[in-house]
C-alpha cells in the first residue's frame, strides 16, 4: 500500500507529460527537414568569420585598432566632415536610414549594413569588390562619398597614424615628395597630379592606400550580427512551439519558408545567399541608369585591388570566387545583392536605392512581382492573403537585434 | 593550387554525395518533382560516353566554393583522358543559373577531371548540365541534384 502511494505522484507526472505530448490539432506540423531548415537560419549555424588570405593583417588586433580609428576619422575626406561612420552609424546597424546616402554629396545608392559581411564573397549592391579591404577603398575615392584621394590619405596616415601603421605594415614611403592631392579620381587637378607622379611613387602610394583598406577591414571583421529573438527561440526548449516567438510570428516563418518562397534567396544564418538577383525593383527617376551586377562583374575583374591583383596577399588558388565568378551576362542586368534580413524590419527604407518605404509595401512588391525596368525579374507572383502578409511582417520583426 | 583529391577520396565522396541528394518532403521542398532521377553516374544523351560526377569533399555546404571530380569513360567503360568539358547549371524552378561559373581545370589521369568553382547558393533542385567534346564526338548530359 505504502509503495502504491509513493508511486501515485509519479503516475500523475507521467500523465501530465503524456498530456503535453498529445498532438494539438491546431498546431502546425514540422517535418525533420523543416526543422533543420529553420535551424540553418539561426545564428548558431553561422560559422566563424572565414579567413581572408588576401589580407595578411585581417585578424591582427593592432590592425583592427588602427582600422577602427580610421573608420571614425573625418580627416579621410575632402571636406574634413565625412568618415566611414557618417553613413555606417554604429548605433543604427552601421547604416544611415536614408534612401540615398550622403557623403560630401548625395550618392545614388542606399548604405549597406556591415555586420556579418566578412562572410560575403562580393561587396556592394553590385558586388564590384571581392574583399572587405578592397570595398573600403571605394567610398574613400568616390567623388560623392569621402571625396578625397590617395596621396591625401597617405599624408593623413603619415601625420596622424605613422606609429601604428609602421607597427602593422612596416615603413611608410617618403611622403614629403608626394603631391598634397593626387589620385585616379574625378577631380581633374588630383587626376593630373597623379598622372605626373613616377610609377614607383604611385605604386608606393597604392600600397599605403591598400593597407588603409586592410586596417579598416580588420576592424569591420569584428562586427558580428547581434542575436535576435528568433535565434533565442530556435535554441529554446519550446522550439518549434510558441514561446519567444508568438503563434503569429511562427505562422509568418512558415510563409517565409513555404508560400512566400523568401528563403530561396534569404537563406542561411545571415538570411542572404550573398548572390545577385533581378527582383524587378523600380528604377529611381532622376538617377543615372543602374545596371547592377552586370556592371559590378566587369568592375571587380578589372580592379587592381582585387584578390588576384598586386596588392592582394592571396595566392591565385585562394581566389576561387573571383576566378569562377559568373561573368557579366544578360541575367546579371539589374541584379542586386540579396541583403541580410537580420535587423531589416527596423531599418527602412528598402532596396538598393531605398525605393520602397516600408515592409508592408516590400511584401506587396514580392506578391505582385512587377516586370523589371530592365532585364528579367526572377520573381513570380505569389498568392498570399492579408493574414499571411501580416504574419510574414511579424516574423521579420523577430529578426531585429534584441534591445 | 588546390590539393588534388586522391582516388580514394573521390570514391569515398560518392556515397556521401548521394546522401546529400535524398529528396525531402517538407514545407519548403514541396514542389520538387517526386520522380527525379538523382543518379550521379549516367550515359550521355547520345550514348557516346558514361559520366560520373561527385564533390571532392563529401559535405556540400550551401554558399561555399568547392571542387568536384568528373569521371569520363567511353561506351565500353574505358577511361578517356582528353576531352573538352563545359559545365553549366540552373535551378529549373527558379529561372536562374549557378551563382558561379565552374570549369574543368585539370585532367587528373585515368579518366578523372577536376572541376573547380562549384557553388550552390540555395537549397532545392539543381540541374547540372555538361557538354563533352571527346574522341567519340560532342555529347551532352544533365544531372539532378537536390540539396
CATH number, position A352: 1.10.760.10
Q: Report the distance separating Cα A191 and Cα A181, nearest Å.
A: 9
Binary contact (B26, A378; C-beta < 8 A): no
Same domain flag for A152 and A273: no
Interface membership of A29 toward B (CB under 8 Å): no
Percentages of chain A per state (helix, strand, coil), in multiples of 5: 45, 5, 50
Domain presence at residue A48: no
Chain A interface includes B19 (CB < 8 A): no
ipTM comes to: 0.80
Instruction: Give the end of a domain, one of A176, A202, A220.
Output: A220
**A92 contacts: CB under 8 Å, gap ≥ 6:** A347
Give the integer Cα–Cα distance in Å for A245 and A361: 23
A262 shares its domain with A117 = no
Q: Does the beta-carbon distance from A257 to B99 stay under 8 Å?
A: no
Is B2 a member of any domain? no
User: Which pTM value belongs to this model?
Assistant: 0.88
CATH code for position B65: 2.60.40.1930
In a domain, A46, yes or no: no
**Chain A residues near residue B87 by CB distance under 8 angstroms:** none
For residue B32, what is its C-alpha cell? 520538387
Q: Which of B120, B125, B16, B111 is nearest to B64 (CA)?
A: B120
pLDDT of B24 above 90: no
Tell whether A14 is covered by a domain: no
Say if A115 falls within a structural domain: yes
Nearest CA in chain A to B28: A258
Q: Is residue B29 part of a domain?
A: yes
**If residue A36 lies in a helix (H) or strand (E), which one and from where to where?**
helix A32-39
Task: Return d(Cα B14, Cα B18) in angstroms, integer.
Answer: 6
Whether A372 maps to a domain, the answer reads yes
B19 inside domain: yes
**Residue A162 and residue A244 in one domain:** no
Boundaries of domain holding B123: 7-146
> Is residue A181 included in any domain, yes or no?
yes
Which whole number is the average pLDDT over A24-46? 87
Whole domain around residue A260: which residue ranges? 32-38+226-292+333-397
**Residue ranges in A170-281 assigned as alpha helix (H):** 188-195, 199-220, 229-235, 247-257
Q: What span, in angstroms and rounded, lies between the C-alpha atoms of A140 and A188?
A: 17
Residues A376, A236 share a domain? yes
Q: CA of B48, closest CA in chain A: separation in Å?
A: 28
Assigned domain for A277 exists: yes
Q: Are residues A236 and A385 in the same domain?
A: yes
Instruction: Judge if A112 and A216 occupy the same domain.
Output: yes
pLDDT digits (tens, 9 = 90+) for A55-93: 999 999 999 999 999 999 999 999 999 999 999 999 999
Using a CB-CB cut-off of 8 Å, the residues of chain B touching A264 are 94, 122, 124
Expressed in percent and rounded to 5, the helix, strand and coil fractions of chain B are 10, 45, 45
- Report the pLDDT value the prediction gives residue B34, as an integer from 0 to 100: 84
Please give the Cα distance from A253 to A41 (Å, whole number). 11
B3 close contact with A: CB closer than 8 A: no
B139 strand-pairing partners: B132
Q: Terminus-to-terminus CA distance in chain A, angstroms?
A: 56
Q: Which value, to the nearest 10 degrees, does the dihedral of the CA atoms of residues A115, A119, A125, A128 take?
A: 130
- Give the contacts of A375 (CB within 8 A, at least 6 positions apart): A278, A294, A330, A331, A332, A333, A334, A335
pLDDT at residue B33, rounded to an integer:
85
Do A383 and A286 share a domain, yes or no?
Answer: yes
3-state secondary structure of A123: strand
For B52, the enclosing helix (H) or strand (E) is strand B49-55
Residue A25: band (very low, low, confident or very high) from pLDDT cuts 50, 70, 90: low
Chain A residues touching residue B96 (CB < 8 angstroms): 277, 331, 378
Nearest to A159 by CA among A143, A172, A146: A172
Taking an 8 Å cut-off on Cβ atoms, the answer to whether A320 and B65 are in contact is yes
Residue A316 CA: distances (Å) to CA of A53, A146, A214: 10, 31, 19
A377: closest CA of chain B, how far (Å):
9
Residues counted in chain B = 147
Strand order in the sheet with B41-43: B41-43, B49-55, B66-74, B112-118, B103-109
State which of A190, A220, A250 marks the end of a domain: A220
Is A128 within a domain?
A: yes
8 Å CB contact between A348 and A358? yes
> Is residue B133 a part of any domain in this protein?
yes
Q: How many domains does chain B have?
A: 1
Considering only CA atoms, which of A140, A71, A153, A136 is closest in space to residue A104?
A: A140
> Are A123 and A199 members of one domain?
yes
Same domain assignment for residues A96 and A206: yes
Residues A89 and A180 in one domain: yes
Whether B42 contacts chain A with CB within 8 A: no
CA–centroid distance for A138 within its chain: 15
Percent pLDDT > 90 in chain A is 90
Question: Domain boundary residue among A220, A255, A271?
Answer: A220
Q: For B29, which of A33, A265, A378 is closest by C-beta distance?
A: A33
Number of domains chain A contains: 2
Please check whether residue A179 is in contact with residue A154, taking contact to mean a CB–CB distance below 8 angstroms. no
With an 8 Å Cβ cutoff, are A326 and B98 in contact? Answer: yes
A171 pLDDT more than 50: yes
pLDDT tens for residues A348-390?
Answer: 999 999 999 999 999 999 999 999 999 999 999 999 999 999 9
Q: Do residues A237 and A150 both lie within one domain?
A: no
Per-residue pLDDT reduced to its tens digit, A151-169: 999 999 999 999 999 999 9
Structural domain contains residue B118: yes
Amino acid at each position: 500500500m505504502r509503495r502504491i502511494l509513493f508511486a501515485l505522484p509519479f503516475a500523475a507526472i507521467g500523465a501530465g507529460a503524456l498530456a503535453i505530448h498529445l498532438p494539438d490539432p491546431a498546431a502546425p506540423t514540422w517535418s525533420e527537414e523543416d526543422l533543420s531548415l529553420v535551424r540553418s537560419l539561426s545564428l548558431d549555424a553561422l560559422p566563424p568569420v572565414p579567413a581572408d588570405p588576401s589580407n595578411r593583417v585581417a585578424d591582427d588586433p593592432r590592425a583592427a585598432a588602427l582600422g577602427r580609428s580610421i573608420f571614425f576619422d573625418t580627416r579621410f575626406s575632402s571636406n574634413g566632415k565625412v568618415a566611414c561612420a557618417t553613413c555606417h552609424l554604429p548605433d543604427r546597424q552601421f547604416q544611415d536610414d536614408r534612401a540615398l546616402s550622403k557623403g560630401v554629396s548625395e550618392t545614388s545608392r542606399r548604405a549597406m549594413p556591415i555586420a556579418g559581411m566578412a562572410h560575403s564573397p562580393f561587396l556592394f549592391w553590385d558586388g564590384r569588390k571581392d574583399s572587405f579591404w578592397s570595398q573600403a577603398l571605394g567610398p574613400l575615392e568616390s567623388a560623392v562619398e569621402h571625396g578625397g584621394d590617395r596621396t591625401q590619405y597617405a599624408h593623413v596616415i603619415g601625420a596622424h597614424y605613422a606609429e601604428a601603421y609602421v607597427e602593422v605594415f612596416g615603413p611608410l614611403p617618403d611622403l614629403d615628395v608626394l603631391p598634397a592631392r593626387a589620385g585616379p579620381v574625378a577631380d581633374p587637378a588630383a587626376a593630373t597630379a597623379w598622372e605626373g607622379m613616377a610609377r614607383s611613387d604611385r605604386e608606393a602610394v597604392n600600397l599605403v592606400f591598400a593597407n588603409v583598406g586592410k586596417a579598416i577591414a580588420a576592424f569591420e571583421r569584428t562586427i558580428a550580427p547581434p542575436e535576435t529573438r528568433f535565434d533565442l527561440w530556435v535554441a529554446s526548449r519550446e522550439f518549434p512551439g510558441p514561446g519567444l516567438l508568438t503563434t503569429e510570428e511562427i505562422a509568418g516563418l512558415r510563409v517565409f519558408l513555404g508560400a512566400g518562397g523568401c528563403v530561396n534567396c534569404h537563406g542561411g544564418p545571415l538570411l542572404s545567399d550573398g548572390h545577385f538577383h533581378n527582383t524587378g525593383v523600380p528604377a529611381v527617376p532622376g538617377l543615372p541608369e543602374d545596371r547592377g551586377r552586370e556592371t559590378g562583374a566587369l568592375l571587380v575583374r578589372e580592379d587592381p585591388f582585387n584578390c588576384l591583383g598586386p596588392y592582394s596577399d592571396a595566392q591565385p588558388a585562394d581566389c576561387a570566387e573571383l576566378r569562377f565568378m559568373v561573368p557579366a551576362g544578360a541575367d546579371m542586368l539589374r541584379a542586386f545583392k540579396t541583403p541580410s534580413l537580420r535587423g531589416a524590419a527596423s531599418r527602412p527604407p528598402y532596396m538598393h536605392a531605398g525605393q520602397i518605404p516600408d515592409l508592408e509595401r516590400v511584401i506587396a512588391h514580392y506578391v505582385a512581382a512587377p516586370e523589371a525596368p530592365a532585364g528579367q525579374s526572377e520573381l513570380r507572383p505569389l498568392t498570399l492573403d492579408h493574414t499571411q502578409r501580416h504574419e510574414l511582417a511579424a516574423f521579420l520583426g523577430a529578426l531585429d537585434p534584441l534591445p | 593550387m588546390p590539393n588534388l583529391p586522391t582516388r580514394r577520396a573521390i570514391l569515398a565522396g560518392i556515397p556521401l554525395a548521394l546522401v546529400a541528394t535524398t529528396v525531402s518532403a517538407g514545407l519548403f521542398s514541396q514542389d520538387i518533382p517526386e520522380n527525379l532521377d538523382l543518379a550521379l553516374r549516367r550515359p550521355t544523351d547520345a550514348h557516346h560516353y558514361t559520366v560520373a560526377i561527385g564533390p571532392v569533399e563529401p559535405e556540400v555546404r550551401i554558399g561555399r566554393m568547392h571542387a568536384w571530380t568528373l569521371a569520363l569513360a567511353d561506351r565500353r567503360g574505358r577511361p578517356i583522358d582528353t576531352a573538352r568539358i563545359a559545365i553549366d547549371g540552373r535551378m529549373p524552378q527558379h529561372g536562374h543559373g549557378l551563382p558561379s561559373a565552374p570549369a574543368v581545370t585539370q585532367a587528373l589521369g585515368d579518366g578523372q577531371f577536376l572541376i573547380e568553382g562549384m557553388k550552390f547558393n540555395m537549397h532545392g533542385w539543381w540541374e547540372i548540365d555538361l557538354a563533352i567534346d571527346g574522341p567519340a564526338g560532342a555529347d551532352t548530359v544533365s544531372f539532378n541534384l537536390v540539396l
